[in-house]
Each structure stands twice: as structure tokens, then as C-alpha cells.
Amino acid sequence: MLTLFKKIFTWWNQDTFGTRLKTIFFGKFIGKDDSGNMYYESKNGKRWVIYSNTVDASKIPVEWYSWIHYMPNKIQTNHNLDKYDWQKPHQSNLTGTEDAYYPNKNKNGNKKKYSSWKE
């Protein structure tokens, strides 16, 4: 019952009831990425994503970013591109979490304070 309530009234838990109806009636399934996000397109060219878990725009990998933003690219014809050995797997935005990058962090995990200029 609670999941149905969330589905109807909240947008941050995947998709709402209205988005689901729009997807069923007007959406054409284009593809799915490695993290489970599903990509759809309507007859008039509108494109949207249904996220696998919580809604986070940084979850769109590079292969699908150009497609969702209407950028002409070879990715539009082939969504299953081969990855090179040097390419890292997609990582979502870590800002505001424990794993966020801090430029002045020592080995113990404590942030160093900036030292001022001395004359």
C-alpha cells in the first residue's frame, strides 16, 4: 500500500503514476543501460529516462547523455559501445556524501586547514 502511495505522489522514487501511463501509451522503448535505467522516446521526439532506483541525473552514463540531450553522435545508432580498458565505470555524483572528494584530506580522513601566507 505504501509503495502504491509513493508511486502516485512522489517523483523521487523512480517514476510517478502519470509518467508510467505516459510511458505505456506513448513511449517507445529505446534501450537500457548497465545500471538498469530505461530510455524512451515519443512519436513527436520527446525523450525521457525511467531511473532504476532513486532519481539522480548524474546516473545517466556518457553513452546515453548525448542521446537524451539530442546531440548528433554515432552513439544514437549504437548504444552498446565497447569500453576501453582505461575507461572507468560510471560513478554517480558523490557531493555531500562521505565519499566526496576533498583536495586537502590527510590519510586519517581529517581535512587539513589551509595555511595562510606568512610575510
Q: What is the pLDDT of residues 40-57, one digit of tens each?
A: 999 999 999 988 877 778
Region 64-90: mean pLDDT is 72
97, pLDDT greater than 60: yes
Q: Which secondary-structure segment (H or E) carries 25? A: helix 17-26
* 90 lies in some domain: no
> Residue 40: beta bridge partners?
29, 48
Q: Can you give the residue range of the structural domain that contains 7?
A: 2-76
Go through the chain and tell me how many residues it has. Answer: 119
User: CA–CA separation, 110 vs 90, rounded Å?
Assistant: 27
- Residue 88 is assigned to a structural domain of this protein: no
- What is the Cα–Cα distance from 103 to 27, expressed in whole angstroms? 44
Q: Residue 33 — very low, low, confident or very high, per pLDDT cuts 50/70/90?
A: confident
What would the mean pLDDT of 88-116 be, rounded to a whole number?
Answer: 69
Instruction: State how many domains the chain has.
Output: 1
Which sign does the torsion angle of CA 56, 5, 40, 46 carry?
negative
In a domain, 71, yes or no: yes
Residue 18 lies in a domain: yes
